[in-house]
Amino acid sequence: METYSDNWNACLLFRNKQLTKQLKNYQEASVLADCSSSLLLAMSQLLRLHQHPSYGIVRDDTEWQNLFTVIDWFYGNCLSEELVDYCLGPQELKLCYLVRARLCNKAVAALFNITSQSVLKTKQRIKNKLSLSATDSLDRYIQQI
């Protein structure tokens, strides 16, 4: 009976060491990430937008705001603050952020469930609001802000 108890204790001690080590790894990873779960979701959405863009990846305004935050982190500055004087609508601001994240027109069209031609028309309207000339590139302008 004593050997069964000894074996059981040894197994429990071994498992305790494994779990303690795993917990320490999780704690180190969370300190490195220092992000909320919603921002981690936004990072994964940005990755999905680059790899496999499709309609419905970003579902609501909260997710859009988190995506904006992640794009600002990765690409610098707060784009919405830079564009506040131009009175862009919510959809136009979303498009500017996606341009900032270097998504192509086809990817943007898939996300919004519209045609690439509609994306081009929206970009033209934004260029007009920003007082850019016909030869200026909206993409280059947005990425340089």
Residues 41-53 as b/e (b if ≥16 CB within 10 A, e otherwise) read bbbebbeebeeeb
Residue 43 structure tokens: 């990072």
Q: How confident is the model at residue 1 (pLDDT cuts 50, 70, 90)?
A: low
CA distance 98 to 68: 9
Neighbours of 102 (CB within 10 A): 13
Note the pLDDT of residue 56: 92
pLDDT in tens, 101-135: 999 999 999 999 999 999 999 999 999 999 999 89
